[in-house]
Amino acid sequence: MQEALHHHYRRKRADTRAYLWWARGVDWVVYPMGVLGLLMAIPQTASIWVYHETAGVSVFSWTAWTLISAFWTLFGILHKEKPIIWINGAWVIANALVALGAVIYS
């Protein structure tokens, strides 16, 4: 298991001067992408809660996504990674809203 996490510890120890320019760019772009992903869930959530349209919505899939996001949130808490905690915590709420709405209105 320790070998699998070597990149995590190596990244934290990395000298910022030697850090690749494109990796720094990815580090900055990942935050807006997390928010953009959440914005993409709004139409599905609105379709269910406002219009009560549940056609084609899989309760199993959205519940699974909720559990996966909850696991990632727990991972972020254990490793004290605030971006992982915030984005995946928001995903837990968004996914749970879709799953719950699909159960209620189907």
Please state, for a pLDDT cut of 90, what percent of the chain lies above it. Answer: 68
Query: How does pLDDT run across 77-87, given as a tens digit for each residue?
Result: 999 999 899 99
**Confidence check: pLDDT of 15 > 70:** no
The pLDDT of residue 9 is: 57
Domain that holds residue 42: 33-105
CATH number of the CATH domain containing 52: 1.20.1280.290
Whether residue 12 lies inside any domain: the answer is no
| Count of domains observed in the chain | 1
Whether residue 26 lies inside any domain: the answer is no
The single residue listed with the structure tokens 């004290």 is 80
Whether residue 13 lies inside any domain: the answer is no
**Confidence check: pLDDT of 61 > 60:** yes
The pLDDT of residue 50 is: 97
Measured distance CA(49)–CA(44) in Å, rounded = 9
Cut 0.85: pTM above it: no
